[in-house]
Structure 1
Amino acid sequence: MKLVFVYNANSGKLNGYLDSLHKVISPKTYPCSLCDITYGVLKIKPEWQAFKDRTNLNLEFHHLDEFENKFGSITRARYTYPIILEEHNGALEIFLSKEELDGLKDENELIKCIEARTTAL
């Protein structure tokens, strides 16, 4: 099993700067709760980085444009972003929906949720 994280943002330095600016100027309208949970304004949150470093889970991260390039535009249109998907033999299923991600307060809640769901599998 692989967990595929899809941020509701496009890749690239300019997009990253614009996203950071959006987080500062209007955090309530920022469209990516996954970005907000795992990254501060300029860098990855230390707790999230520590989890990524220690986990045995297979994790893959994509911005919207990268996800579309890898899985195709039809797949991109099937979901609401951000999202975490499970990949089994090339098939994708929802692991954590946008609504679930939107309900998490911080990276610690995300980590606990991932650990609980992967232990239950």
Structure 2
Amino acid sequence: MKLLFVYNANSGTLNALFDAGHKLFSPSTYKCSLCTLTHDTFTENTIWKTFKEDSNLKMEFYHKDEFETTFPNVKMIYPTVLKLNGNQISTVLSSDVINEIVDVEELISSLKTKVKMLK
């Protein structure tokens, strides 16, 4: 089993620069709440980075264009966190749930709770 994190942002340097500018100048209108939770304006959030490094969970991270290329038959509302078990994909945290999470600590707590339930 592995967790798939899919950001509501496209890959690429130009998109990254646009996203950073958007987060810097108009953070309340930025469309990817998962990005906001896991990343500061220019770098990965330290608490999130530590969680990833210390966790024994298998995790993969995708921008939405990368996810759609890798899984062309899976339609999602982004951002989302999914569980991939074999070739079965199920939702761990939906976009609606992620949008309600207020900080990275709550995200980590929600993930830990959900993963316990998935095992």
What corresponds to 1:20 in structure 2? 20
Partner SS for 1:4: strand
Partner SS for 1:109: helix
Q: Distance in 2 between matches of 1:91 and 1:31?
A: 27
What corresponds to 2:76 in structure 1? 79
What corresponds to 2:110 in structure 1? 113
Show the 5 A alignment for 1:1-121.
Answer: 1-72=1-72, 74-75=73-74, 78-121=75-118
Would you identify which runs of 4 or more consecutive aligned residues in structure 1 move more than 6 Å? Answer: none
Unaligned runs of 5+ in 1: none
Identity %: 41
Aligned length: 118
Q: Distance in 2 between matches of 1:55 and 1:84?
A: 16
Partner SS for 2:31: coil
TM-score computed with the length of structure 1 as normaliser: 0.94
Q: Distance in 1 between matches of 2:54 and 2:40?
A: 20
Q: Distance in 2 between matches of 1:69 and 1:120?
A: 29
CA drift of 1:120 comes to: 2.3
RMSD (Å) for aligned C-alpha atoms: 0.9
Q: Distance in 2 between matches of 1:14 and 1:106?
A: 27
One-letter amino acid matched to 2:115: T
CA drift of 1:90 comes to: 1.2
Unaligned runs of 5+ in 2: none
